[in-house]
């Protein structure tokens, strides 16, 4: 379990006046089915309109959301104990859609996997309400719609987490228990055992409903405890899902790099350590204080005080065994919330909310039958409609995950890719750049030939004859941490090509050769103007030295249009400021790149001005040379000298 974005911010009854059977209708009639289809369509459209489609920097740093995404794309174990069934289903979901839409945003596909579970859960919830309200279409539809727009359910229907599936599993368990209560067939008990056992290979906390279910069944038929064959087969069915953990072991054994922090002598030792969920156990807080007021505030906020009260009363009205089931389950959730009050209790108790609304459906139906006045019934529906509308309006800003302003986590990775790194390049960047580029190359599938490296792995990349590119954010410490005398020439506006002890050589293909003598031993060999990249305009310079210059000269590049300067960029030294001119050796050539983002209405550049200068100690400037050149050619193709090489 990990933190989530959401924290920012049943019944033996008296006779009815209506002519209904003593047993609630098991399945919706034709009108009920049509209403369910409409509900699912509207909910699906709502969730699609608010579906998560981006990642914040914090999302990439860790937590359930990003862990589930990597697990479902790469078929790797998720966070402990691995969620094998959920993860394998996610792998099929993701790669199935990727076959149809190979260039689709993976965040959308992975988030829609949660939408699938949410819609299935909503359909089962609708069926439970149909029973609780004895087939009252309007109450069933209204309470279902209310639950569809509650914050936690909505949020987990549109983001990459597994809690909507836990709601589905819990509601299915209740539905099967009620079906057994109606006809008493053993097949429902076997199915119930299997559904409870699924939590062992999914979310163990779903078992919180188990004690209540056992009481519900045994209070009706205690002779079940004397049926050995039934108990034996039920245990086998409950344990069957544990076979799914073979997937966790086999995938983990094949990929030790997925084991995470820690030391284990072999895959078996890692596997049992992983299953122990040490991190999850560390989150439990057993001290007797302090009390967390959110234990009361969140359920009231999620369900409203009115529906929460109606639900608890409805539990009691449904009948003695039903009441024991609901109150036992609620008590177990309450104890867990107190123990884990600083952990993920607010996510784990999500199934308790629809169970409460089922109880509300029971009480509302009693009132509906006892008071058949059209005014009173109409008033109930108006109040329910107002609750739905108010909930949807207030929850929408927090539940909406589409196009969030903070979803900038992938931008550092896109910035690197848009600079067209050479084929099979090794990229060294800061933490955010590495996380973003890893996601784009491994999950999105963009430029999978690129690999991010730590600074300590730079020597190995050189031994493999791979181009090593370092971002400007990592260039300041890469040499010291790698232990190599790195030298840099510019590849893109924020990307440097590294050499081991000497400047890497780049050809001048596509350059305008000018051979302009600058002074102090410097020569501007040529320039190139590129467009269609990121930023949209690049100016590449190639500079050499006849002898080591006496001064460290800075460079200013201005774009001209009809003689007027329309943009300016300065570097304190060539190679984006990382190769001072005073360190240039004879015949060595260094490249510099200046990126420009011209406004849409800016004229097309037709000239280039390059100024070599330095700042004096008194704050004034000394110009070494001012060179103007016409731009006769603008290229839109970036030359990659490694394109034909293999690592």
For residue 635, name the pLDDT band (cuts at 50, 70, 90).
confident
- Is residue 427 within 8 Å of 415, Cβ to Cβ? no
Taking Cα atoms as reference points, which of 195, 179, 187, 183 lies closest to residue 230? 187
Residues near 610 by beta carbon (within 8 Å), at least 6 away in sequence: 524, 527, 541, 555, 556, 557, 558, 625, 626, 627, 629
Mean pLDDT in residue range 467-486: 96
| Residue 230 to residues 139, 227, 233, Cα–Cα distance (Å) | 38, 5, 5
* Interior angle at CA 542, CA 538 and CA 547, nearest 5: 155
Q: What is the pLDDT of residue 587?
A: 82
In tens, the pLDDT along 307-318 reads 999 999 999 999
**pLDDT higher at 640 or 31:** 31
Backbone angles phi, psi at 419, to 5 degrees: -90, 15
Residue 591's beta-bridge partner residues? 542
The 3 state secondary structure assigned to 395-444 is: HHHHHCCCCCCCCCCCHHHHHHHCCCCCCCCEEECCHHHHHHHHHHHHHH
Q: What is the pLDDT of residue 280?
A: 53
Q: What is the pLDDT of residue 236?
A: 97
Backbone angles phi, psi at 317, to 5 degrees: -70, -25
Q: What is the pLDDT of residue 41?
A: 98
Mean pLDDT in residue range 51-73: 93
* Interior angle at CA 45, CA 41 and CA 46, nearest 5: 115
Question: Cβ of 315: how many Cβ atoms within 10 Å?
Answer: 26
Q: State the chain's mean pLDDT as an integer.
A: 90
Question: Which sequence spans correspond to the domains of the chain?
Answer: 27-256+292-399, 410-499, 505-647
Mean pLDDT in residue range 403-417: 96
Q: What is the pLDDT of residue 1?
A: 42
Q: What is the pLDDT of residue 180?
A: 96
Q: What is the pLDDT of residue 619?
A: 82
Q: What is the pLDDT of residue 339?
A: 81
Q: Does domain 505-647 bear CATH number 2.40.230?
A: no
Q: What is the pLDDT of residue 289?
A: 60
Taking Cα atoms as reference points, which of 387, 425, 199, 389 lies closest to residue 310? 387
Q: What is the pLDDT of residue 534?
A: 83
Q: What is the pLDDT of residue 78?
A: 87
- Is residue 124 within 8 Å of 172, Cβ to Cβ? yes
Percent of the chain with pLDDT over 70: 92
Residue 628's beta-bridge partner residues? 609
In tens, the pLDDT along 147-193 reads 999 999 999 999 998 999 999 999 999 999 999 999 999 999 999 99
In tens, the pLDDT along 339-371 reads 876 678 888 899 999 999 999 999 999 999 998
Mean pLDDT in residue range 401-422: 95
Q: What is the pLDDT of residue 16?
A: 37
Residue 290 preceded by cis peptide, ω within 30: yes
- Is residue 87 within 8 Å of 160, Cβ to Cβ? no
Buried residues in 483-510 as b, exposed as e (16+ CB within 10 A): ebebbbbbbbbbbbbbbbeebbebebee
Q: What is the pLDDT of residue 285?
A: 57
Calpha distance 25→21 (Å, rounded): 8
Angle separating helix axes 137-148 and 30-49, nearest 10 degrees: 10
* Residue 589 structure tokens: 């050539």
Q: With 80 as the cut, is the pLDDT of residue 142 above it?
A: yes
In tens, the pLDDT along 87-128 reads 999 999 999 999 999 989 999 999 999 999 999 999 999 999
In tens, the pLDDT along 223-253 reads 999 999 999 999 999 999 999 999 999 999 9
Q: What is the pLDDT of residue 286?
A: 58
Q: What is the pLDDT of residue 553?
A: 95
Mean pLDDT in residue range 308-331: 96
Q: What is the pLDDT of residue 27?
A: 81
In tens, the pLDDT along 416-454 reads 999 999 999 999 999 999 999 999 999 999 999 999 999
DSSP-assigned letters across all residues of 63-111: SHHHHHHHHHHHT---STT--HHHHHHHHHHHHHHHHH-TTS-HHHHHH
For residue 24, name the pLDDT band (cuts at 50, 70, 90).
low
């Amino acid at each position: 379990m990990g933190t989530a974005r959401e924290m920012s911010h049943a019944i033996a009854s008296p006779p009815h006046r209506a002519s209904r059977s003593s047993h609630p209708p098991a399945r919706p009639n034709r009108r009920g089915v049509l209403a369910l289809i409409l509900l699912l369509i509207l909910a699906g459209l709502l969730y699609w309109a608010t579906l998560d489609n981006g990642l914040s920097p914090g999302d990439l740093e860790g937590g359930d959301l990003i862990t589930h995404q990597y697990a479902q794309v790469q078929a790797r174990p998720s966070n402990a104990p691995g969620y094998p069934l959920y993860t394998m289903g996610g792998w099929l979901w993701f790669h199935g859609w990727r076959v149809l839409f190979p260039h689709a945003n993976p965040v959308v596909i992975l988030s829609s996997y949660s939408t699938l579970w949410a819609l299935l859960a909503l359909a089962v919830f609708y069926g439970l309400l149909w029973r609780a309200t004895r087939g009252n279409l309007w109450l069933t539809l209204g309470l279902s719609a209310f639950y569809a727009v509650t914050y936690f359910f909505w949020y987990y229907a549109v983001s990459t987490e597994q809690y909507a599936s836990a709601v589905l599993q819990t509601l299915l368990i209740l539905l099967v228990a009620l079906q057994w209560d109606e006809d008493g067939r053993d097949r429902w008990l076997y199915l119930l055992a299997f559904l409870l056992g699924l939590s062992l290979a999914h979310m163990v906390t779903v078992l919180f409903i188990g004690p209540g279910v056992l009481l519900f069944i045994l209070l009706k038929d205690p002779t079940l405890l004397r049926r050995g064959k039934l108990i034996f087969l039920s245990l086998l069915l409950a344990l069957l899902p544990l076979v799914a953990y073979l997937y966790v072991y086999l995938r983990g054994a094949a990929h030790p790099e997925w084991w995470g922090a820690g030391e284990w002598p072999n895959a078996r030792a890692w596997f049992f350590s992983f299953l122990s969920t040490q991190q999850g156990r560390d989150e439990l807080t057993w001290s007797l204080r302090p009390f967390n007021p959110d234990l009361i505030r969140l359920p009231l906020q999620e369900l409203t005080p009115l529906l929460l009260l109606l639900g608890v009363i409805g539990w009691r009205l449904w009948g003695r065994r039903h009441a024991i089931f609901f109150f036992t389950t609620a008590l177990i959730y309450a104890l867990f919330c107190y123990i884990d009050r600083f952990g993920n209790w607010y996510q784990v108790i999500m199934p308790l909310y629809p169970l409460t609304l089922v109880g509300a459906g029971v009480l509302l139906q009693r009132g509906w039958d006892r008071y058949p006045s059209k005014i009173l019934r109409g008033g109930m529906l108006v109040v329910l409609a107002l609750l739905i509308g108010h909930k949807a309006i207030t929850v929408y800003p927090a539940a909406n995950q589409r196009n969030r302003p903070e979803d900038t986590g992938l931008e550092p990775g896109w910035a690197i890719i848009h600079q067209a790194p050479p084929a099979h390049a090794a990229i060294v960047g800061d933490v955010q750049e590495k996380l973003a580029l890893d996601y784009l190359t491994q999950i999105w599938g963009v430029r999978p030939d690129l690999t991010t490296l730590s600074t300590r792995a730079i020597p190995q990349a050189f031994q493999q004859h791979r181009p090593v590119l370092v971002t400007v954010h990592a260039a300041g410490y890469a040499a010291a941490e790698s232990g190599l005398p790195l030298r840099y020439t510019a590849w893109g506006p924020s990307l440097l090509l590294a050499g081991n002890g000497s400047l890497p050589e780049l050809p001048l293909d596509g350059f305008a050769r000018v051979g302009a003598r600058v002074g102090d031993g410097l020569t501007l060999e040529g320039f190139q103007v590129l467009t269609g990249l990121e930023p949209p305009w690049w100016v590449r310079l190639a500079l050499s030295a006849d002898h080591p210059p006496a001064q460290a000269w800075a460079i200013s590049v201005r774009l001209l249009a009809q003689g007027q300067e329309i943009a300016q960029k300065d570097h304190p030294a060539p190679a984006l400021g990382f190769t001072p001119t005073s360190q240039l050796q004879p015949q060595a050539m260094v490249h510099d790149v200046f990126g420009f983002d011209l406004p849409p209405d800016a004229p097309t550049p037709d000239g280039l001005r390059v100024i070599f200068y330095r700042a004096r100690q008194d704050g004034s400037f000394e110009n070494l040379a001012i060179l103007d050149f016409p731009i006769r050619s603008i290229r839109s193709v970036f030359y990659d000298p490694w394109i034909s090489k293999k690592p």
